[in-house]
Amino acid sequence: MARASSMPAAPSRMLASDNAAGAHPLVMESLVRANAGHALAYGDDEYTRRAETAFNELFDRDVRTLFVYGGTGANVLALASVLQQAESVVCTNWSHIHVDETGAPERVLGAKLLDLPCADAKLTPDQVRAAAAVRGNPHHAQPGVVSLTQATELGTLYTAAEVRAICDVAHEHGMLVHMDGARIGNATASLGGTREALRSFTVDAGVDVLSFGGTKAGVVFGEAVVWFDPRRALRAEYLRKNVTQLHSKMRYISAQYEALLADDLFIDLGRAANGAATALFEATRHLASLGLTTPPAANSLFPTLRDPAKSRLQEWSFFWDWDVAAHQVRWMPAWDVTADDVAAFAAGVDAALAGA
């Protein structure tokens, strides 16, 4: 196609998603190193003990950590552990558990997700308070758990104070708080970049259980669920297999998490992805039709793009549509996207929009 030939060279790495990237070399090395001899299954091994200790150190207290296979499984296990029967989960209309998990929470939990409209994918204390008003009325599913996503599905962030305000309202009404931290490294990098920062918007803010994500931050597979008060996790070990999320050869997950937590690697990888998003924002903000006016808080941009430029770009270096009706797409750099990748992609955007 003549027009495609006028595009510059495509970047080596796509902006399709942070799960399009591979594993970080240190993580892969740790996984490979774990492949030595025999180890008892199901977590009764040295790798898992070390990884559990690493989580205790990360949060500076004795937490309960269980490894699972994936993000949906982490959320389902976390929610199952803190929901009571006939309760619902309060979440946003953008939340991954509501939109992107093919109904797994409803199927496995048998519980309602009460999705509240939130323009920026962030719940407010007032919304939680309003939802709690039906507690005690036997005709309604009882709001029992608030689920926050950090960073949110729209790339926004809750400050530590915002999380705390929601946790306070939730606890005041007898509810517990789950945080979906599929992009916990991005959030931590953006909110201070230290372990203290991480604690400030999780355990210190009152979060009860955290889905700690690694898949989008350089692991091969495996996520962690962290209960800050181990008493909330009394049935969690049974629940993990009960929801199909217990891996037998646990050492391979644990070993990856040893590497991911060592020297705060997960924060570095979040910072790298966030930085690529910011660089891309800077490199494209001059194109008014994209509508990019605010620098990204984490690692995603949601520009406006119309055909034929959109399709041309997607064929050249793939990315996903976000809101077809609104002509929005999503650009989401992974931890390994380089300055060269960003420059190459931005050049392509320039060319496509010029050609359009």
Name which of 217, 211, 225 is nearest 256 in CA terms.
217
244 dihedral zone (left: phi>0; alpha: psi -120 to 50; beta): left
Q: Is 30 in the site for a second copy (CB under 8 A)?
A: no
- Decide whether 39 or 118 has the Cβ nearer to a second copy: 39
Check binding of 48 to a second copy (CB under 8 A).
no
Pick between residue 76 and residue 272 the one whose CB is nearest to a second copy: 76
The single residue among 3, 4, 6, 12 that binds a second copy, judged by CB under 8 A, is 12
Regarding 238 and contact with a second copy (CB under 8 A), the answer is yes
Residues 49 and 56: their CA atoms lie apart, in Å, by: 11
CA distance 72 to 78: 10
Asked if 132 touches a second copy (CB under 8 A), the answer is no
Residue 311 engages a second copy in binding (rule: CB under 8 A) = no
Closest contact distance (angstroms) between CB of 118 and a second copy is 13
**46 versus 318: smaller Cβ distance to a second copy:** 318
Polymer length in residues for the chain: 356
**Which residue in the set 249, 285, 338, 350 belongs to the binding site for a second copy (CB under 8 A)?**
249
What residues numbered 156-195 form the site for a second copy, per CB under 8 A?
Answer: none
Kindly tell me which residue out of 8, 10, 50, 70 binds a second copy, with binding defined by CB under 8 A. Answer: 70
Using the minimum distance from each CB to a second copy, give the nearer residue, 165 or 239: 239
Q: Which is nearer to a second copy, 57 or 340 (CB)?
A: 340
Give the β-pairing of 87-92 and 142-149: parallel
Phi, psi for 164 (deg, rounded to 5): -60, -40
Nearest-approach distance from CB 42 to a second copy, in angstroms = 8
**10 near a second copy, judged by CB under 8 A:** no
Which one, 2 or 138, has the nearer CB to a second copy? 138
Angle at 77 between CA 40 and CA 126, to 5 degrees: 150
What SS3 state is found at 149?
strand
> 163 or 176: whose CB is closer to a second copy?
176
Which residues, other chains included, contact 73 with Cβ-Cβ below 8 Å and sequence gap of 6+?
Answer: 223, 243, 244, 245
42 binds a second copy (CB under 8 A): yes
Taking the CA atoms of 30, 54, 83 and 156 in sequence, report the sign of the dihedral they define: negative
Residue 293 in the binding site for a second copy (CB under 8 A): no
Q: Which residues of 306-331 are buried (b: 16+ CB within 10 A; e: fewer)?
A: eeebbebbbebbebeebeeeebebbb
Contacts to a second copy from residues 76-115, by CB under 8 A: 76, 80, 84-88, 98-104, 106-108, 110-113, 115
